[in-house]
Amino acid sequence: MKPAPFAYVRAASIEDAVAALAASDGLAKVIAGGQSLVPMLNFRLVDVPLFVDINGIEGLSGVEETPGGGLRIGALTRHFELEASPLVRDRYPVLHEAMKHVAHLAIRNRGTIGGSLSHADPAAELPAMSVLLDANIAATGPTSKRSIAAQDFFEAPLTTVLAPDEIVTAVELPPLPAGAGWGFEEFSQRRGDFAVAGVAAVVEQDVARIAVFGVHDTPLRAVGAEQAFASGGVDSAVDALRSEIEPSDDLHGSADYRRHLAGVLCKRALEVASKRARA
């Protein structure tokens, strides 16, 4: 289990990195924390001739407040920085909670938010959080920069709308309404493993945002469940969620079990979130 040979360049700037990607005919890949990528290299599951390391790029890391009361999170911000950030804890307690579920400390010390979103694992926490929190994902390509709504970002398992020569540079989170409650529920058989199913919710009076992971081929905003919650409360939301997701079978759980779990976790998340919202 050793990686196949590849070439490696360190980018000094985003422009540098994008130029290197653009010059490779779409074959080169970005490496940041490497926590999802290097296992694939070790298993020789991916064949990449060139890696562009963006770890050395200045200014890509950190959590800062935005004028509207939201946060801007640099793409190279490590998971542990998010977990430990007082800004995140105070403004997005649901994200603070989610970070504790991301694998383990050693992975969180190294993994980055940009990497997690770009990797787009449908069972991972951060992609689901980006969808839940209506994040805008800033990306830079060779000729332009754009901001992509998280809900438009994920296309399929491990697939995003990013072009091969585009790099995520930051994630912007709009503020949550004051008084919103939150709930985060994740089920895995072993602590720190990818979710068999996960549901996160933000509730403000009758309005709920619900995001699910591990139960669909992308992280998903459960719009049907959100509407059902507004009209019929928690039980309706659960039923709606179970019919709108399309989980698949794998070794850790069948589609039927995942659908069942999604409902259970949705109920729990909404109940906790509603209680917190009232408090």
Partner 1 sequence: MMDRISISVTVNGTVHTAEVEPRLLLADFVRETLDLTGTHVGCEHGVCGACTILMNGDSVRSCLTLAVQADGAEVETVESLGDAENLGPLQKAFRDHHALQCGFCTPGMLMTATDMLRKYSLETDDDIRDGLSGNICRCTGYQHIVDAVRAARDERDGR
Partner 2 sequence: MSPPDDIDLTRPKLVGAKVVRREDPRLLSGAGNYVADIKRHGMLHMAFRRSDHAHAAIRNIDTKAALALRGVVAVYTGGDIAEMANPYQATSRMKNYQATFIPPLAVGRVRYVGEAVVAVVAESRYVAEDALALIEIEYEPLVVLIDPEEALKPDALKLHDDLDSNILAEREFIRGEVDEAFENAAATAGERFHFTRTTPVTIEARAAVVEFDKGGRSLTLHCTTQIPGIVRDKLSEIFDLPGPRIRVIAPDVGGGFGGKTSLYSEEIVACAASRALEKPVKWVSDRMEDLMTTGHAFDEVVYADIAIAEDGAILGLKADVIGDVGAYSIYPWTATIEPVQVVSFMPGPYRIENYAARVRSVATNKTLTGAYRGVGRPISVFVMDRLLDMAARKIGMDPMEIRRRNLINDNEFPYKAASGLVWDKSAFQACLREAADGIGYDELRHEQQAARAEGRWVGIGVASYAELTGVGSRIAVAPGMPINTGTETCNVAIDSTGAVTASFGIASQGQGMETTLAQVVAEVLGVKVEDVDVILGDTSAVSHGTGTYASRGAVFGGGAGTLAAKAVREKIVRVAGHLLEAAEEDIETGDGNVWVKGTDRAMTVRDLARALYSDMGRVPKEMRDEIDNLEATKVYDPFFGTTTAATHMCLVEIDAETYKVEIGKYIVVEDCGRVINPMIADGQAHGGVAQGIGVALMEEVIHDDSGQVLTASLVDYVVPSAVEVPSMDVIHVEAELPGTIGGFRGLGEGGTIGAPACIANAISDALNPLGIEITEIPATPERLFRLIEAARNS
Which chain residues interact with partner 1 by CB under 8 A? 1-8, 10, 31, 34-35, 38-39, 41-43, 51, 53, 55, 80, 84, 103-107, 109-110, 190-192
Of 16, 193, 204, 239, the one binding partner 2 by CB under 8 A: 193
**Are β-strands 136-140 and 7-10 bridged in parallel, bridged antiparallel, or unpaired?**
unpaired
Q: Which residue has the tokens 């005919």?
A: 25
189 binds partner 2 (CB under 8 A): yes
Three-class DSSP category at 166: coil
Interface mask toward partner 2 for 236-255; x: CB under 8 A:
---------------xxxx-
Residue 256 contacts which entry, partner 2, partner 1, none (Cβ below 5-8 A, type-dependent): partner 2
148 binds, among partner 1, partner 2, none (CB under 5 to 8 A by kind): none
Residue 142 and residue 14: Cα distance in Å, rounded? Answer: 9
Q: Which of partner 1, partner 2, none is residue 260 near (CB under 5 to 8 Å by kind)? A: partner 2
At CA 91, angle to CA 120 and CA 107, rounded to 5? 40
The nearest distance, CB 11 to partner 1, in angstroms, is: 13
Our CB check for partner 1 shows the closer of 110 and 276 to be: 110
DSSP 77-109: -BHHHHHH-HHHHHH-HHHHHHHHTSS-HHHHT
Considering only residues 68 to 127 of the shown chain, the ones binding partner 2 according to CB under 8 A are none
Distance (Å) of CA 168 to CA 76, 147, 205: 9, 9, 34
69 phi, psi to nearest 5 deg: 100, 10
Label residue 62 left, alpha or beta by phi (over 0 means left) and psi (-120 to 50 means alpha).
Answer: left
Stretch that binds partner 2, among 25-33, 84-92, 163-171, 182-190 (CB under 8 A): 182-190
Site residues, partner 2 (CB under 8 A): 1-5, 43-44, 187, 189-194, 196, 251-254, 256-257, 260-261, 264-265
